[in-house]
């Protein structure tokens, strides 16, 4: 099938490459000429395992092309995907200007029937707005051309996006059109052979499904972080609790790992947008607001622990930081907990020596050159001259360190673990102090209750 994709970010680029890899003819359109030139040269602007060879091989075979020519893209595609950004607006709502601009572009250039597929994460009712936008432009042109607008939300995990796209858990299709459904079934047939993964529903339900899925996962994270904070105050171990509740198949082990809070381009934005949508209907989303509040507090927790340990000031202290991306296997630092930590450390007077396997260039782009930040080429280099270590991202490279070497290099022999990578007893045996999230001994004594509550 001939497919045009407007937008070459995470979603558009991965979706385009994977569709091309099964034989579809894909043309990706973007307004950023420099980005398109880089993609045409085989340069991938994001860190995503397996994506670069996938793009390069399908370009070489002629099934995947990149262009700034919107008219060519519209002419090429019988299916036209909108995969542009929907950043949060000042009030927390999703900003639809790029989606509607892409819809106008499609309407200006279409000469025959098209199926427009909303792949971007958009609020309920966006398909109606896209349809109204296309109708308005066609009316201005005096053209009467048939089209459909379909909701087909993405469920990709950064760091595993290629695998998720190739082997989707489900393919959500929102449409009332049998013609559009038939087209999408044909498009996704190569990914639907083992069993039927397609779930067809009305457009508004499909739009809400995406937000509900991300809000549910964010809720699980904030819930386990809430219980972790309680465990610290009760002298319980959240890792034991996590295993205990995760063994219940109704709960499961996924997304119940306590830590420094969630980040990235999806969960924070989507929870905020869903809260805004709820308010716009006159409904108070109390659970979602609590999820967001807990996450905001959790993202500050690691910095608060370090500052409290040192009595409120980090003047003259050098803090080694392992992990800057919001999760492993990506260079994405949008809403990353590391950004909260670094700002807190700098405000308290600390110098930071940081390492991340993928996000060093992104960190330099965000923070620039500053005297209180040294970006280091390896985890070991970050430890040089450091007083303590803070772990923010659970990259595999950090999972089995040489604890004797940590004890030798860290002047204050302290580890602040925002991802619970290590067993406290193992760390202690090497003479290191250890603060984790919800584990025994993690709270400064000044924060611990003087007596445990009576049952």
What positions carry a catalytic annotation?
Answer: 266
Which residue stretches of 1-125 are H helix?
10-21, 33-40, 51-60, 70-76, 97-109
CA gap 442, 237 in Å, rounded: 10
149: its two tokens: 């607008």
| Helix or strand (DSSP H, E) at 81 | strand 79-82
List, in sequence order, every residue forming a beta bridge with 29; answer none if it has no partner. 6, 67
Question: Where would I find the beta strands (DSSP E) of 295-431?
Answer: 318-322, 351-355, 373-375, 388-391, 414-417
CB–CB of 210/121 below 8 Å? yes
CB–CB of 71/355 below 8 Å? no
Torsion sign, CA atoms 414, 415, 418, 420: negative
Question: 94 Cβ partners below 8 Å, 6+ apart?
Answer: 86, 87, 88, 121, 122, 123, 269, 273, 276
327 alpha-carbon distance from chain centroid: 8
Question: Phi first, then psi: what are they for 223, rounded to 5°?
Answer: -65, -50
List, in sequence order, every residue forming a beta bridge with 118; answer none if it has no partner. 82, 151
CA gap 373, 344 in Å, rounded: 13
Per the document, the length of the chain is 455
Question: Where would I find the beta strands (DSSP E) of 226-384?
Answer: 318-322, 351-355, 373-375
List, in sequence order, every residue forming a beta bridge with 115; answer none if it has no partner. 79, 148
CA gap 130, 396 in Å, rounded: 43
Question: Phi first, then psi: what are they for 434, rounded to 5°?
Answer: -145, 120
């Amino acid at each position: 099938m001939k497919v045009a994709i407007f937008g070459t970010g995470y979603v558009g680029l991965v979706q385009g490459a994977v569709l091309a890899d099964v034989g579809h003819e894909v043309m990706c359109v973007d307004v950023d000429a420099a980005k398109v030139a880089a993609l045409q040269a085989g340069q991938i602007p994001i860190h995503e395992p397996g994506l670069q060879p996938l793009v390069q091989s399908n370009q070489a075979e002629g099934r995947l092309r990149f262009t700034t020519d919107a008219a060519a893209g519209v002419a090429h595609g019988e299916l036209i995907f909108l995969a542009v950004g929907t950043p949060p607006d000042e009030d927390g709502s999703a900003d639809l200007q790029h989606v509607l601009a892409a819809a106008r572009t499609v309407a200006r250039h279409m000469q025959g029937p098209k199926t427009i597929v909303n792949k971007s994460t958009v609020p309920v009712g966006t398909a109606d707005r896209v349809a109204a936008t296309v109708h308005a432009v066609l009316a201005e042109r005096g053209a009467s051309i048939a089209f459909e607008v379909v909701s087909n939300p993405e469920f990709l995990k950064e760091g595993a996006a290629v695998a998720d796209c190739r082997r989707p858990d489900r393919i959500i299709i929102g449409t009332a059109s049998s013609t559009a459904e038939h087209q999408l079934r044909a498009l996704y047939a190569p990914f639907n052979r083992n069993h039927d993964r397609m779930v067809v529903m009305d457009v508004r339900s499909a739009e809400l499904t995406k937000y509900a899925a991300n809000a549910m996962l964010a809720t699980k994270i904030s819930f386990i972080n809430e219980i972790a904070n309680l465990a610290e105050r009760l002298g319980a171990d959240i890792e034991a609790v996590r295993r205990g509740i995760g063994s219940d198949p109704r709960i499961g082990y996924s997304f119940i790992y306590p830590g420094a809070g969630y980040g990235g381009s999806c969960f924070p934005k989507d929870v905020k947008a869903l809260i805004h949508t709820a308010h716009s209907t006159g409904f108070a989303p109390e659970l979602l607001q609590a999820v967001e509040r807990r996450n905001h507090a959790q993202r500050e927790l690691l910095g608060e622990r370090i500052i409290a340990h040192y009595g409120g000031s980090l003047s003259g202290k050098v803090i080694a930081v392992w992990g800057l991306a919001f999760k492993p296997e990506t260079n994405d630092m949008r809403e990353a907990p590391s950004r909260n930590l670094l700002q807190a450390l700098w405000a308290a007077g600390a110098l930071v020596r940081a390492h991340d396997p993928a996000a060093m260039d992104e960190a330099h782009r965000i923070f620039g050159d500053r005297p209180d930040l040294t970006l280091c080429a390896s985890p070991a280099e970050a430890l040089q001259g450091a007083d303590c270590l803070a772990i923010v991202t659970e990259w595999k490279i950090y999972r089995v360190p040489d604890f004797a070497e940590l004890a030798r290099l860290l002047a204050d022999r302290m580890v602040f673990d925002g991802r619970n990578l290590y067993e406290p007893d193992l760390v202690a045996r090497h003479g290191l102090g250890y603060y984790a999230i919800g584990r025994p001994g993690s709270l400064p004594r000044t924060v611990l209750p003087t007596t445990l509550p009576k049952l």
